[in-house]
Amino acid sequence: MCHALRGKAALLRKIIRNLQGLLTFSACTINTIAWFIPIFVLALVKLIMPVKSLRTGITRILMLCGKAWIGTNSRIFALGNSTIWDVRGLEGLARDQWYLILANHQTWVDILALQTVLNRHIPFLKFFIKQELIWFPFLGLAWWALDMPFMKRYSKSYLAEHPEKKGKDLEATRRACEKFRDTPTTVINFVEGTRFTVEKRMSRGSPYRHLLKPRAGGVALAVSSMGEMFDTILDITIVYPDGPVSFWDMVCGEFRHVIIDIRKRSVEDWLWMGDYENDREFRKQFHQWLGTVWRDKDQTIDRLKSSSVRAPI
């Protein structure tokens, strides 16, 4: 009898959990659609607008829409979660500066957590997106309207057949990023290139305890394209003391604790003045620099796992 009661109680808890997840997910979906409509309409206006100053004004409105979308999603998630936010290093951040974020990556919740913590503290977060995705139905236009930086990259096989194209992709990406010169911008890069798991760390022979090997190419592209614009590198470390949570865990109210440590690093001139693609010595130096950043981050994760202080956002 007791076993049957426990089974029914567990089933009831599971039903309530999933019901909360469905309600939260539905609320976020409605919020996303509600904001996507004005973003899409403004994107169309921006696309056909011939006056640069008016396009810039529309872009500012689009950024406000993006921030409002993130802010509403954050409040929806907060209703269903009693999350302990241990946030360190927000002091001194500004919405009128240019930032490059280097972060570790464990779960899709990383993006939502960073958006929640950084929204309205720094410019709207942007990701480098492959240029081909600009033709993706609806989303491509929205990404373009929100000034996501599109990158053009040629494969090694293509360059082998068309050596005259070498370096042209970087030039195209740099030209695409010129629009950020007059608009404060934050570009985020998950340097590992994929989400961390112990299995991946072991199979890839990572020398770090909590991280995969950093992939320098994406960082080099961002720095080469926009390096002289960046005021600061934000070295952000994300730790989940109870273990990484999935998106479904989050919407079901099981996002309990996150630590976000923000460390500011200077953008040294040599980082963006070198030729990563063609200069072997510079490439070696760049890898050494990024390796040092990653070793520091690995040690920071060890430290953060042993301490946490609740801090309101």
Q: What's the pLDDT tens digit per position in 70-90? A: 999 999 999 989 899 999 999
pLDDT in tens, 128-164: 877 777 777 767 777 788 888 777 766 667 666 667 6
pLDDT of residue 205: 92
CATH hierarchy code of domain 85-305? 3.40.1130
Helices assigned H by DSSP within 109-150 = 109-118, 139-145
Q: Which two tokens stand for residue 156?
A: 């090694």
- State the Cα–Cα distance between residues 311 and 88, nearest whole angstrom: 8
Q: What is the pLDDT of residue 155?
A: 63
Q: Residue 310: its pLDDT value, please?
A: 47
pLDDT at 29 exceeding the cut of 80: yes
Residues 167-221: tens digit of each pLDDT: 666 677 777 777 788 788 899 999 998 899 999 999 999 999 999 999 988 888 8
**Cα–Cα dist 262/271, whole Å:** 20
For the stretch 268-286, pLDDT in tens is 999 988 888 888 999 999 9
Which residue ranges make up each domain of the chain?
85-305
pLDDT, the chain, mean: 87
pLDDT at 308: 58
Q: How confident is the model at residue 50 (pLDDT cuts 50, 70, 90)?
A: confident
DSSP secondary structure letter of residue 133: G
**For residue 16, pLDDT beyond 90:** no
Which secondary structure element, helix H or strand E, spans residue 85, and what is its range?
strand 84-88
| Residue showing tokens 């934000």 | 234
